[in-house]
Amino acid sequence: MSAGLRLDGVTHLHDRAGTAGVRDVSLAVAPGETVGLVGRSGAGKSTLVSVALGLLPAQRGEVAYDGRPLPRRRPGPRRSRELRRTVQWVPQDPAGSLDPRRHLGRQLLDPQRRLRVPGDHEQRAREALARVGLDATIATRRPHEVSGGQAQRVALARALVTGARVLLADEPVTGLDHDRRDDVLDLLLALSRDPVAPLGLLLVCHDLDAVARTCARTVVLDGGRVVEQGPTGPLLTRPTHPATRALVDARPPDVHPHAPTHQETS
Ligand SMILES: Nc1ncnc2c1ncn2[C@@H]1O[C@H](COP(=O)(O)OP(=O)(O)OP(=O)(O)O)[C@@H](O)[C@H]1O
């Protein structure tokens, strides 16, 4: 059994002509692995994330969580809940996705109730907060009563609280300032390296510096297909496919040349 998320020869085309979507994509993210997914606009990244989350069907191929294939048809409510617990989605600007009116603690209980997670929900909420380096007392506050960095952490705790083993983070740092960006990325990296409950991470990101900082391995999509993949360092310094080269060439000049990369910190 392969733990985590596995896509095997997955195709999802949006139109009959077959010009848009993803084709024959295989990739795996095991707990503890950090994988970047990059590609120009329209390359198929969001489509792939939707298929990986079971929101769009794999017309060909297979998506499996912890070795168990997702059903081709929309799964029933019970199976759906099981799946949601295993693989969680982290949206763009995670803190901005918190409900401003509700106490943060409530927002850590809601997904557990919704997904009928077994066990003591309050305890799981405290554990999730500890994993992201926050004290449990923050649960009594609302988003505007904590710092932006703390809110980001709570949002990540919310993704963890159901017992997720893999996070799909779709442009989670777009629009954040440099320090906040690094805070989120470093936290994701630390969570992936947690010795007790290592997390798998698929990071969809157009910021190649963020990918270099966080992801051991990177997959390049172009025209809906995987055109290059491998260890992030060599892939970004010696790209072989023109699509990868174009992404690397479009990278803005490094304004923080001393930011540690994944390679330097691992
Ligand atoms: N619901 C849809 N119906 C029809 N075509 C779609 C749909 N969603 C996406 N597409 C098309 O599929 C292709 C891949 O789009 P997708 O959004 O997956 O790319 P992306 O790499 O995520 O792009 P971006 O970086 O701009 O978000 C594009 O040609 C897009 O126009």
Q: What spacing in Å lies between the alpha carbon of 260 and ligand 1's midpoint?
A: 32
pLDDT tens across 132-148, in order?
Answer: 999 999 999 999 999 88
Residue 123, pLDDT above cutoff 60: yes
Helix (H), strand (E) counts: the chain: 10, 10
Q: Which ligand 1 atom sits nearest the alpha carbon of residue 39?
A: 21
In this structure, is residue 116 part of a structural domain? no
Q: From the CB of 39, is ligand 1 less than 6 Å away? A: yes
Say if residue 43's pLDDT is above 90: yes
Is residue 86 in contact with ligand 1, taking CB distance under 6 Å? no
**Ligand 1 pocket check for 43: Cβ under 6 Å:** yes
Residue 111 Cα to ligand 1 midpoint, Å, equals 28
Query: Domain range holding 27?
Result: 5-93+166-265
Q: What is the dihedral of CA 198, 204, 210, 214, to 10 degrees?
A: 20
Count CB-CB contacts under 10 A for residue 238.
11
Q: How far is the CA of 44 from the centre of ligand 1 (A)?
A: 6
Specify if 52 maps to a domain: yes
Report if residue 136 sits inside a domain. no
Any idea what the CATH number is for the domain that residue 89 is in?
3.40.50.300
In a domain, residue 202? The reply is yes
Q: Per-residue pLDDT for 258 more than 50?
A: no
Query: Whose alpha carbon is nearest atom 3 of ligand 1?
Result: 14
- 32 C-alpha to ligand 1 centroid (Å): 29
**pLDDT band at 261; cut points 50, 70, 90:** low
Q: What pTM value is reported for the model?
A: 0.89
Is 158 among the domain residues?
no
Could you give the CA distance from residue 53 to residue 88 in angstroms, rounded to a whole number? 8
Counting the structural domains of the chain, the total is 1
* 108 assigned to some structural domain: no
The mean per-residue pLDDT over the stretch 123-139 comes to 94
- In a domain, residue 246? The reply is yes
Work out which ligand 1 atom sits closest to the CA atom of 221.
Answer: 21
Does ligand 1 come within 6 angstroms of the Cβ of 106?
no
Q: Indicate whether 257 pLDDT > 50.
A: no
Q: In which element (H, E) is residue 248 found?
A: helix 242-249
Q: What is the pLDDT of residue 91?
A: 80
Most confident of 99-103, 149-153, 171-175, 182-186: 99-103
Q: Which atom of ligand 1 is nearest to the CA of 44?
A: 18
- 10 DSSP β-pair partners: 25
Q: Candidates 45, 51, 202: which one to mutate for ligand 1, based on the most atoms within 8 Å of Cβ? A: 45
**Residue 89 CA to ligand 1 centre (angstroms):** 18
The rounded Cα 130 to chain-centroid distance in angstroms is 20
In a domain, 125, yes or no: no
Measured in Å, residue 22 CA sits from the centre of ligand 1 at 9
**Measuring CA to CA, how many Å separate 244 from each of 37, 247, 251?**
11, 5, 11
Q: Is the C-beta atom of 44 inside 6 A of ligand 1? A: yes
Q: Does the pLDDT of residue 266 top 50, yes or no?
A: no
The encoded tokens of residue 191 equal 């969570």
Distance between Cα 21 and ligand 1 center (Å): 7
Write down the pLDDT at residue 264: 45
Give residue-wise pLDDT tens across range 10-22: 999 998 777 799 9
